[in-house]
A and B are shown apart, each in its own frame.
Chain A
Amino acid sequence: MSGPFRFDGGPIDRSVSLAFRFDGRSLSGHPGDTLASALLANGVRLVGRSFKYHRPRGVFTAGSEEPSALVELRGGAWREPNTRATVAELFDGLEAFSQNYRGSLRRDLLAVNDLLAPFLSAGFYYKTFMWPKSFWERVYEPVIRASAGLGRLSGEADPDSYDKGFLHCDLLIVGAGPAGLAAALAAGRSGARVILADEDFVMGGRLNAETHEVNGRSGADWAAEAVRELASMNRVRLLPRTTVTGAYDHGVYGALERRTDHLAAANGKPRQVLWRIYSKRAILAAGATERPIAFGGNDRPGVMLAGAVRAYANRFAVGAGQRVGLFTNNDDGWRTAADLARKGVEVAAIIDARDRESVAEVPGARIVMGGRVTATRGRHGLKEVALATGERIGLDCLAVSGGWNPNVHLTCHHGGKPVWRDGIAAFVPGDLPPGMTVAGAAGGAFTTAAALIEGHRAAVEALGELGLPADAGDAPGASDEAANVAPFWHVAESRGRAWLDLQNDVTVKDVVQAHGEGFRSVEHLKRYTTLGMATDQGKTANVGALAIMAEQTGRTIAETGTTMFRPPYTPVPIAAFAGRSRGRDFRPTRLTPSHDWAAERGAVFVEAGAWLRAQWFPRPGETYWRQSVDREVLQTRGSVGICDVTTLGKIDIQGRDAQEFLNRIYANGFATLAVGKVRYGLMLREDGIAYDDGTTARLGENHFVMTTTTVNAVLVFRNMEFARQCLWPGLDVHLISVTEQWAQFAVAGPNSRALLGKIVDPEHDISNEAFPFMACGEVGVCGGAPARLFRISFSGELAYELVVPARYGEALMEALMAAGEEFDAVAYGTEALGVMRIEKGHAAANELNGQTTARMLGMQRMVSKRKDCIGNILSERPEMNREDGLELVGFRPVNRSEELPSGAHFLSIGAEAAMANDEGWMTSVAWSPELGHSIGLGFIRNGHARIGETVRAWDGVRGRDVAVEIVSAHFLDPDGERLRG
């Protein structure tokens, strides 16, 4: 396509037309276009409305620093707000929408804010929405929310996928302009492992936007040839469309690669990849960003950076206007006039702030040296500028250059502070992160020739430091050109508002006002005025604002300093940080060996740590969970039940000192545990609080197997390794986690022995005499399969835990259920398990909640005082051993038909519900099908001495207040006859 704004030539592929829509209008562009260049080529200048004043805004830059041209891309769940049109690659079918207006873009109802501007200056919100306090949430917040923000989120789940990846290299080169390409060629030709990343979709940086020559040919051609050569090197990885967003410790860099953003559909491929790049050395060749000059009305569509106007002309063959003017304080800006004149664009005026002789002759242009632009006119786009002399010049585009700022951002991520350099009137990198060097414009070397030489040299030096051979040849050469910038920040003669930060609508007046109100520090200035916030982070605004602040305070810019640059350099979607860790893949799900068996039988599952466990097994006709749970409990207590308890942590402990080691890990004594026996063990934290419990079996003289609770399996193992390696390195003991290796099943109920008699191979005697309560041993099952049998009981019944290698787990479940058919055996889940342990009065996670002591659990006599063990000393602290302390007891409702509230607090009858009267709390409740009423466990002051007393269980959250009787925690079989039977 061509038209009044599209030139002939240039690297745009005119053989292909790409249809796209902007605010519903059908337009067209070509491969190689960005959305911004295509909009300009179609004569679209009004692109959006500004954040605060809803001023008309257009394209201001040609890169990722864009503050103004923010649009919504795509539709439905794919809608992406606040995308910079200057970096959005055009594709066929692209839908884009302007944002931040009410009504229409051209007649925005909220543009009334612009008339209210005198009242909306810096700090307006802080000062205005203070009183009355009752208005904060009811009035102010809804109003502010309705009018604030730029684009709108879709509100739907992100339908695309994102990935994370890891890359390693000798040399990471950030930026593929002249310095980056020269560095990559030098390192690549020497055989080093190189990653070259650039945020643009075409490598070459400013070489594509300028008309400089490199090695005697056009810079763009040289860049394309360099990229071809690099692509042919198998140790060089090119990452176009990749922004290096952060410099982290030890040579680690974060980078976001946009893989399919430039395509109409991702087709199942990841949209973006967040790379973690491990580099031995890095070269920052990130170039520089042009900065504007502040003058009245400098935000109008058509006012653009001079380098951007040049980039649109040279790279995209687009004229940003048909009658263009230039306002500059340096020679570089004049290049725009020269390049546009060569394209046949009318250059109407050149206003140079420097009081010196004209730099060049530009035919037809009105040249004003020492000139000032003071104001602009044009409702939706620039029509005219006014000079300080009063002269008015008709223009539809004003190209502005206030000099260039090196892109020092990554050099600051380790705390380095940029340093002011007077010669170029800009900040250059200060202290660098270890392993990083800077080359080219990023370091203040603004000429192409210098960039090529510095890039080449930086690569050769990096190779030398790494001890790699350098076979790089000579640096490429280029014609030199100097900028001769004279600092000039804002036009004092302007009467209208002069913008510094286009994205946040911060003007020169706001900075002056902030200073007047006492803000001196640049960090405070940023927070107060919002200067430099949001998607562009003030890339075009910051230094100008610093200069104004410096003027106000009478300090130099160097003394004023910059705000801290932090990662990321440009915005990174949260989705990219999440990568594949979304929804069910947020973390791994661990499945028990009998999971599939349980799922086939319709089990309801519950999360337990990372595990999924069967919660109950509904049978046909059961419509309410407790019907299933009550049946499972009654059938287990009546005959036999089977439960998968594989999730318990399992730690194999071996060594000549294994017994002594356990004696120090557990609070109770393990010095006398006989081979073939199991013992309950209680672990304390070093501060004396109860931590975890379980059983440990002695399988041999120097061989023990421990179980831990499901949730603490990893932490207990970590702590035991700490004790082994750091506290008692002289003990001969070794640990390994075997949680995954063994499948474990509880077989509980009066018929459990009879059932196991059919499973355990006959040569193993499991009679009560040969294999009593707390016995353990290695057995064979189902005709020789290796197994371990523990006679332990969590349910209070005659019970065993049978353990086989994990691969036999599902088969054993099936074998147990088949053998149990004659006993009407039942599979039970975690709910029935919980009911039975509450009936039996066993503590679990509700009781071991990090606040409880051994004494509270009734286990104080277990804590041996005759040995060293973790937590022993600090468990003796007086407050933890008060005679009137909390004690674990049972509770039942006085009115047996009432349900107990878990979490309720205990109060004496007649006491007011106040903290001062709090006597403890209910930890666990269940419906006991055996007793036919609700039961509970809880901690209450002096509990054992108060058995029989009635107190209130008060639950302020659910509005319950239940009279309860204090009873023994052992609701069933208090003497333990069942489990010894």
Chain B
Amino acid sequence: MIIDHPLLGPRDAQEFAILGDASLIDRPDWQAEDAAKLFHDYLHLRDNPAGEHRELWFHEQGDRSWLVVTRSTLTHEVLKVELARDVAIARGRDR
């Protein structure tokens, strides 16, 4: 498997560690009324799609970027690779 790193170009998947579903970026607000339920869902509930899946990969043997890799679980085609930091900022995460 090859991941086209946005900064470094195509790299073998062996250089990466995978974490899982990119929804882990969307960590809930700790002060929310139902924070316990939100954190439970955040930690334990995942979609298991046949098709497009967004995953977090860490370039551990490389530049230590976290990436969001959009990939088809059916064909293994890599559809998009983004810096996770950019994705997080676009989703409104800040400080």
Q: Which of B70-89 contact A (CB under 8 A)?
A: 75-78, 83-85, 87-89
Q: Which of B43-95 contact A (CB under 8 A)?
A: 43, 56, 58, 60, 64-66, 75-78, 83-85, 87-89, 93-95
A726 near B17 with CB under 8 A, answer: no
Q: Give B49 Cβ to nearest chain A Cβ, in Å.
A: 17
Interfacial chain B residues near A125, Cβ < 8 Å:
none
Q: Does A895 contact B (CB under 8 A)?
A: no
Chain B 19-38 interface mask (CB, 8 Å, partner A; 1/0): 10000110110110001100
B39 near A250 with CB under 8 A, answer: no
Q: CA–CA, A401 to B77, complex, Å?
A: 41
Q: Give B75 Cβ to nearest chain A Cβ, in Å.
A: 8
Q: CA–CA, A874 to B2, complex, Å?
A: 36
B88 near A729 with CB under 8 A, answer: yes
B2 near A730 with CB under 8 A, answer: no
Q: Does B8 contact A (CB under 8 A)?
A: no
Q: Does A849 contact B (CB under 8 A)?
A: no
Q: Give B72 Cβ to nearest chain A Cβ, in Å.
A: 11
Number of interface residues of A (CB under 8 A): 29
B66 near A873 with CB under 8 A, answer: no
A873 near B35 with CB under 8 A, answer: yes
Interfacial chain A residues near B95, Cβ < 8 Å:
657, 660, 728, 730-731
CB within 8 Å for A434 and B36 given contacts A721-B66, A728-B94: no
Q: CA–CA, A876 to B35, complex, Å?
A: 11
Interfacial chain A residues near B35, Cβ < 8 Å:
873
Q: CA–CA, A877 to B40, complex, Å?
A: 10
Q: Does A686 contact B (CB under 8 A)?
A: yes
Q: Does A778 contact B (CB under 8 A)?
A: no
A721 near B64 with CB under 8 A, answer: yes
B43 near A725 with CB under 8 A, answer: no
Chain A's closest residue to B77 (CB) is A434
Q: Give B20 Cβ to nearest chain A Cβ, in Å.
A: 11
Q: Give B2 Cβ to nearest chain A Cβ, in Å.
A: 4
Chain B's closest residue to A737 (CB) is B64
Chain B's closest residue to A877 (CB) is B36
B93 near A868 with CB under 8 A, answer: no
Q: CA–CA, A718 to B61, complex, Å?
A: 11
A873 near B1 with CB under 8 A, answer: no
Q: CA–CA, A250 to B2, complex, Å?
A: 6
A726 near B94 with CB under 8 A, answer: no
Interfacial chain A residues near B1, Cβ < 8 Å:
248-250, 252
Q: CA–CA, A250 to B79, complex, Å?
A: 12
B30 near A721 with CB under 8 A, answer: no
Q: Give B67 Cβ to nearest chain A Cβ, in Å.
A: 10
Chain B's closest residue to A869 (CB) is B30
CB within 8 Å for A686 and B93 given contacts A250-B1, A722-B66, A725-B84: no
Q: CA–CA, A434 to B28, complex, Å?
A: 40
A729 near B58 with CB under 8 A, answer: no
Q: State which of B2, B60, B75, B88 has its C-beta within 8 Å of the C-beta of A726.
A: B88
23 contacts between A and B (CB under 8 A): A249-B1, A250-B78, A252-B1, A434-B77, A687-B43, A718-B60, A721-B64, A722-B19, A722-B58, A722-B66, A725-B66, A726-B24, A726-B84, A726-B93, A728-B95, A730-B89, A868-B30, A872-B30, A873-B30, A874-B36, A874-B39, A874-B43, A877-B36
Give the B-binding residues of A (Cβ under 8 A). Answer: 248-252, 278, 414, 434, 657, 660, 686-687, 714, 718, 721-722, 725-731, 868, 872-874, 876-877
Given contacts A249-B76, A730-B89, A868-B31, 10 further A-B contacts (CB under 8 A): A249-B2, A414-B75, A657-B95, A725-B84, A726-B24, A726-B25, A726-B93, A731-B95, A873-B35, A876-B36
- Sorted nearest first, the 7 A-B pairs with minimum C-beta distance are A730-B94, A730-B95, A250-B2, A868-B30, A725-B85, A873-B39, A249-B1
